[in-house]
C-alpha cells in the first residue's frame, strides 16, 4: 500500500502513548517543561506520556505543576531512575515515588556500569557539575543484589513499569528473569542499539521473559539529531515483531524536535516502508498503553 492511500498520519497516530519523554526541569538543558510536553501531546490526542529524568523523581515535578497540567487533556505520569543522584538502588526512594503515583522505575541509566564504561554514546552537557558513580545491580558472584529484589517487589506492589535502563544485556536478562518470577507484568528495554548494545538474539530472550523492546523514534527522525535510516527500524520491527515492540520519543533535549512532530514524520516513513496501520498502532498506542498501566491486559496480537 502506498503512503498516498493511507489516512492522514495524525489520524493513524491519534491516541499514541510516549514512554520516554525528557521534558524539564532537569540539570540537562531541555527544550520544554512537563507542561509543554503535555500540550504537545494534546495536539495528537495522545492517551498519556511518561516523563523521565536521569537525576530525580519526576512525580514531584508533576505534583508541583498540577494546576497547569489539570486543563490539558493528555495525562502525564512520572517515575524514578535509580542513578547515583537518588542513592542508586534505593527501595525507599522507589516506595515514595510509586506510592505517590509513579508509574515507572528505570534501573540505572547513566550510572550503570555499561553506560559509564561505554565511550560511543552522546549525551547532552549539563551546566552544573553533578557528580556521578557506577551503580551496580549484581554482586561479585553475578547475582542480583538484595535491594534489587526489594525494588522489584515494590514494582509488583504498584503494578508499575520496570525498565532495564542502560544495563548491559546479560544484566537485563537477570533482571527480567527475576521480574517475571516475582510477578512484574510490564518490562521494557530501551534503545537496544544505543549504549546497551543488545543484539537481536538477546532481545528475543528478553521478549521470552515477558519484556518489550523500545525504540526511540527521535533517533530515526529525518530532522532529528541522529538520523538513523528508518529501514533499520523496520528491520527491528519485522524481526522482533510489532506485538513486542514499542516506539517512544527520547526527546526533550535543547534544540531537538518536538515529540509529536518527530512521531508523525517517522510514522509516515514507516508506513511508506511497508509497516501497516495496525502494526503502527500496536507499537505507538496499544503496547505502550499497557506498559504505562492505561490498559490492564496485554494487547491482542496484530490481526488477532
> Could you tell me if 55 and 85 are in contact, meaning their C-beta atoms sit under 8 angstroms apart?
yes
> Could you tell me if 292 and 78 are in contact, meaning their C-beta atoms sit under 8 angstroms apart?
no
What per-residue confidence (pLDDT) applies to 197?
87
Looking at residue 282, the DSSP 8-state letter turns out to be: I
> Could you tell me if 219 and 191 are in contact, meaning their C-beta atoms sit under 8 angstroms apart?
yes
User: Which residue is it, cell 561505554?
Assistant: 118
Confidence of residue 121 (pLDDT cuts 50, 70, 90): low
Mean pLDDT for 74-103 is 98
**Does the pLDDT value for residue 1 go beyond 50?**
no
Confidence of residue 223 (pLDDT cuts 50, 70, 90): confident
Mean pLDDT for 147-159 is 98
d(CA 145, CA 130): 26
Mean pLDDT for 117-145 is 85
What per-residue confidence (pLDDT) applies to 2?
46
- pLDDT, tens digit (0-9, with 9 covering 90-100), for 18-77: 999 999 999 988 999 999 999 999 999 999 999 999 999 999 999 999 999 999 999 999
Looking at residue 144, the DSSP 8-state letter turns out to be: B
Beta strands at 211-216 and 79-81: parallel, antiparallel or unpaired: unpaired
Confidence of residue 123 (pLDDT cuts 50, 70, 90): low
What per-residue confidence (pLDDT) applies to 118?
80
Helix, strand, coil % over all residues of the chain, rounded to 5: 40, 15, 45
Sheet holding 245-248, edge to edge: 79-81, 104-106, 161-163, 186-190, 211-216, 245-248
- pLDDT, tens digit (0-9, with 9 covering 90-100), for 226-268: 789 999 999 999 999 999 999 999 999 888 999 999 999 999 9
Mean pLDDT for 10-16 is 98
Angle at 106 between CA 101 and CA 110, to 5 degrees: 135
CA Rg, the chain, in Å?
18
2, three cell numbers = 502506498
**Does the pLDDT value for residue 214 go beyond 70?**
yes
Global confidence as pTM: 0.95
Residues sharing a CB contact under 8 Å with residue 189, sequence separation 6 or more, in sequence order: 163, 164, 172, 196, 198, 203, 206, 211, 212, 213, 214
**Does the pLDDT value for residue 3 go beyond 50?**
no
CB atoms within 10 A of CB 136: 18
26, three cell numbers = 532537569
Phi, psi of 162 (to 5 degrees): -115, 120
Topology of domain 3-291, CATH: TIM Barrel (3.20.20)
Chain-centroid distance of CA 19 in Å reads 4
Residue 9 vs residues 49, 77, 257, 265, 272: alpha-carbon distances, Å: 19, 25, 17, 8, 11
Rounded to 10 degrees, the C-alpha dihedral 252/207/265/30 comes to 0
Mean pLDDT for 220-228 is 86
d(CA 246, CA 212): 7
What per-residue confidence (pLDDT) applies to 120?
59
Alpha helices (runs of H) in 5-57, residue ranges in sequence order: 9-13, 34-42
272, three cell numbers = 511508506
Amino acid at each position: 500500500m502506498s503512503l498516498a492511500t493511507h489516512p492522514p498520519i495524525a489520524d493513524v497516530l491519534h491516541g499514541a502513548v510516549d514512554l520516554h519523554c525528557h521534558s524539564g526541569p532537569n540539570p540537562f538543558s531541555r527544550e520544554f517543561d512537563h507542561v509543554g510536553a503535555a500540550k504537545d501531546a494534546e495536539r495528537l490526542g495522545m492517551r498519556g506520556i511518561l516523563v523521565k529524568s536521569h537525576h530525580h523523581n519526576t512525580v514531584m515535578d508533576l505534583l508541583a505543576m498540577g494546576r497547569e497540567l489539570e486543563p490539558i487533556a493528555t495525562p502525564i505520569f512520572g517515575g524514578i531512575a535509580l542513578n547515583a543522584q537518588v542513592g542508586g538502588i534505593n527501595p525507599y526512594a522507589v516506595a515514595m515515588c510509586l506510592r505517590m503515583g509513579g508509574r515507572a522505575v528505570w534501573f540505572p541509566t547513566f550510572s550503570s556500569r555499561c553506560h559509564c564504561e561505554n565511550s560511543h554514546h552522546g549525551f547532552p552537557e549539563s551546566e552544573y557539575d553533578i557528580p556521578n558513580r557506577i551503580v551496580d545491580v549484581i554482586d561479585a558472584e553475578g547475582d542480583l543484589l538484595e535491594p534489587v529484589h526489594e525494588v522489584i517487589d515494590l514494582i509488583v506492589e504498584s503494578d508499575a513499569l520496570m525498565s532495564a535502563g542502560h544495563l548491559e544485556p546479560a544484566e537485563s536478562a537477570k533482571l527480567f528473569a527475576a521480574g517475571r518470577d516475582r510477578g512484574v507484568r510490564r518490562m521494557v528495554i530501551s534503545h537496544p542499539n544505543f549504549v546497551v548494545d543488545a543484539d537481536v538474539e538477546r532481545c528475543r530472550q528478553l521478549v521470552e521473559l515477558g519484556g518489550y523492546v523500545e525504540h526511540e523514534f527521535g533517533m530515526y527522525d529525518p530532522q532529528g539529531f541522529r538520523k538513523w535510516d528508518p529501514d533499520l527500524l523496520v528491520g527491528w520491527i519485522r524481526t522482533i515483531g510489532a506485538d513486542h515492540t514499542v516506539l517512544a520519543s527520547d526527546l526533550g533535549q535543547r534544540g531537538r524536535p518536538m515529540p509529536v512532530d518527530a512521531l508523525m514524520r517517522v510514522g509516515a516513513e514507516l508506513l511508506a516502508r511497508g509497516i501497516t496501520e495496525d502494526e503502527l498502532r500496536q507499537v505507538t498506542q496499544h503496547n505502550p498503553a499497557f506498559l504505562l498501566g492505561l490498559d490492564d491486559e496485554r494487547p491482542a496480537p496484530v490481526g488477532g
